A = this chain, B = another copy of it.
Amino acid sequence: MDKLDAIFSPQTIAVIGASTQKGKVGHDIFANILYGGYTGTLYPVNPKAKSVLSVKCYISIAAIPDPIDLAMIILPPKAALGSVKECIAKGVKGIVIVSAGFKEVGGEGALMEIQIKELCAQAGVRLVGPNCLGVINPSKKVSLNASFSARMPKPGNVSFISQSGALCTAVLDYAADKGFGFSKFISIGNKADVDELDLLRYYHKDPDTDVVMIYMEELSRTSEEFVTEVREMTSGTNPTHVIVIKSGSSVAGAAAAASHTGALAGSDAIYDGIFTMSGILRCKTVNQLFDYAQAFAANKYPTGDRIAIVTNAGGPGIIATDMSEQSGLKLAKFSEETVKELKKYLPATANFHNPVDVIGDAAKDRYENTLATVLADRGVDAVLIILTPQSMTDAIGTAEAIVKIAKNSIKPILCAFMGVVDVSDGVKLLQAHRVPVYQFPESAARSLGALREGMKWSFRKILPQYDLVYDRDKAAGIIDKYMKEGRKILGELDGNEILNCYGFKTIPTVLSKTAKQAVKIAEKMGYPVVMKIVSPQILHKSDAGGVKVGVKDADGVEMAFETIMKNGRAYDPDAQISGVLVQKMAPEGKEVILGVTKDPVFGHAIMFGLGGIFVEVYKDVAFRLSPMGRNVARRMVKSIKGYPILKGLRGQAPSDIEAIEKNIVSLKAMVDNHPMIAELDINPLFVHGEGEGTTVADIVIRLEDGA
């Protein structure tokens, strides 16, 4: 038996801090469990009361004569700590602490939370909260509403996890209005013990849960831990679909980030990476969360992107077509047979092609025949049905026909019954039979697009890993030297050496101290050359006027040397300038950027995007974290908008995308091997034609403070 069963399906519950005073949390939660029809046995604990709501009250949990599965604690922090000890002594299996005043207020409260957490961990008791709304399990077998919302939702196959208690009440309220059912519903508050990953594991094994909705403020697991498990749960033939709404500050990463990567790595971009890697769908609004959950809860998935639209009004049909195309779907082309069949049932003025217009005066029959016909077409993967209330419209009859057909169809059918009052009977019937129904066609179309995305993810292609070899020791030697000397910034000379250890191709680069020396180096290398300032204080060399490209002859080199030194001194009079690098011009290629930043919670994140000034303006970059491998790298490269540029636009030769993938995998191996790397920019990395690899044109590495 899973320990979380004691939380969701306890046989006995003690409410510690149960109160006789209406309006108090200790009263309301007790009342909600009692009047919610809980199928187990309920015991109030309160030393000052004889009974609560007519139920015999105990002075302590120890005084209860029977064993207790779940203790609900509604007490201030200090009393809660004492109560936890008693609960453990009694042998409870699960504890929910509803009260606030712990970590979120800091100080003594935070310390008590740590003590409680440790006590529970030692005793092997699972703890939910503190600072949460409680737990709900609407299943008829349990019928548990241990929350301070009086509203018990209907049973369903969607489970909910919320980090915000306040949002829970609003969500329950909203769900009631939509006739939306839940399997399990939990508010996790401060997450002292039980968190999202624990619950996802539990929900994935739960036969009553097919879809999980999460409201998340922040995650406190490493990426490796979270992603490795969750991506398995969302995959294969029996996936648990996870949909999340994540709030958090929009402000981008540390203002003083030393790298492009650091500056672009707002926590939001990192979360996007984690969700994408886990196969979690991210929503922008609570409305969308419900829309998507409804679509996934029907457990029918499109095996392709070709949809049929059936409508009794032109305008909404066009809206649905627009949104379908924006959501990655396309209109199916019907077979001749289908069109012939449709002509039998529909009037001459109808449109027999996609989107099918059954005309405003369509009653139930036309919808029924049309739906059955387009559903049978092998070129149709899903159907979207639009009904607008008009004088001949039979919303309930049409809904009945849809339910009947949906029962025998493995293809998804989504409905948009437009309007509220006039179509409400039909909507309720569809909802009762888990046929997804929306108020507007654009929501239905977008949800169908999400469904298709989810399906593609679950059955994604997985290629064998690249077999790559690194010279870890040599790289470690270089980094050790810097650490011993207390130096934090590795420039191109040593940076290139380290990259070479991880299979990167770099360009011959030599440091010059004088203009004459620079000329000598350049003559030996061959023109044209690139020249760059070397100074630990000057990270953005271009900004400081510290870079000259395409220097073509000795005069040019001499002049460039002087200019670069002068610019560097003007940019930062205190900068130590070691000299000017002379570098052979890189062979031609597409400019991309590869970078690393280190997130305090999730660990190293790799960034990839198109390089040049566009990285700053269009921010067309992607972040991915552990676990990194060929498949993550492949999808990462594909995910940026500029991917077609790498594939080769307008007959241009394709770039060496496989080489980029290997670079990404190697870069991640590098920071895993040398975790003291805090930030890194390879900017630009030149990508050459297929089979010709990549070349590093510039590199900066920053080691961690105190590393």
Contacts and interface: CB of A to CB of B under 8 A. Distances in A.
A170 interface: yes
Interface stretch (A38-46, A59-67, A596-604, A616-624): A616-624
Given A326-B250, A420-B173, A617-B645, A314 B166 contact: yes
From A217, A315, A616, A651, residue with most partner B Cβ within 10 Å: A315
A578 interface: no
Interface string A317-337: 011011001100000000000
A28 interface: yes
Contact of A389 (B164, B173, B286, B313): B173
B315 A166 contact: yes
Contact of A420 (B176, B245, B392, B613): B176
Interface in A271-308: 284-287
A249 B170 contact: no
Contacts of A360: 165-166
Nearest to A389: B169
A650 B217 contact: no
A163 interface: yes
Contacts of A163: 315
Given A285-B440, A620-B618, A217 B315 contact: yes
Given A170-B389, A419-B173, A420-B176, A314 B164 contact: yes
A670 B546 CA distance: 44
Interface residues of A, number: 74
A458 interface: no
Contacts of A614: 614, 618, 642
A390 interface: yes
A443 interface: yes
Contacts of A618: 614, 618, 620, 641-642
Nearest to A348: B105
From A28, A105, A170, residue with most partner B Cβ within 10 Å: A170
A23 interface: yes
A167 interface: yes
A467 interface: no
Contacts of A319: 245, 247
Interface in A231-253: 245, 247-250
A114 to B, nearest CB: 20
Contact of A649 (B245, B418, B613): B613
Nearest to A288: B442
A148 interface: yes
B349 A105 contact: yes
A173 B617 contact: no
A473 interface: no
A316 interface: yes
Q: Is the interface of A mostly helix, strand, loop or mixed?
A: loop
A215 interface: yes
A486 B360 CA distance: 50
A439 interface: yes
From A166, A325, A641, residue with most partner B Cβ within 10 Å: A166
Interface string A384-412: 00001111100000000000000000000
Nearest to A319: B247
A349 B318 CA distance: 52
A543 interface: yes
B105 A170 contact: no
B166 A390 contact: yes
Interface string A413-438: 00000111111000000000000000
Contacts of A540: 650
A650 B543 contact: yes
Nearest to A163: B315
A264 interface: no
A285 B443 contact: yes
A448 to B, nearest CB: 15
A442 B215 CA distance: 14
Contacts of A645: 613, 617
A544 to B, nearest CB: 9
B439 A313 contact: no
Contacts of A617: 641-642, 644-645, 649
Given A389-B173, A440-B285, A649 B616 contact: yes
A177 interface: yes
A420 B177 contact: yes
Contacts of A25: 391
A538 to B, nearest CB: 13
A683 interface: no
Interface in A610-643: 613-614, 616-618, 620, 641-642
Q: Which 10 A-B pairs have the closest CB atoms?
A: A166-B313, A164-B315, A173-B419, A170-B418, A177-B420, A166-B388, A247-B318, A250-B325, A247-B319, A170-B419
26 contacts: A105-B349, A151-B422, A164-B316, A165-B360, A166-B312, A166-B418, A169-B422, A174-B420, A176-B421, A177-B421, A217-B314, A217-B318, A247-B319, A249-B322, A284-B442, A286-B440, A286-B442, A287-B439, A287-B443, A542-B650, A543-B651, A614-B614, A614-B642, A616-B644, A617-B645, A618-B642
Given A164-B314, A169-B388, A245-B319, 4 more contacts: A167-B316, A170-B419, A248-B318, A616-B649
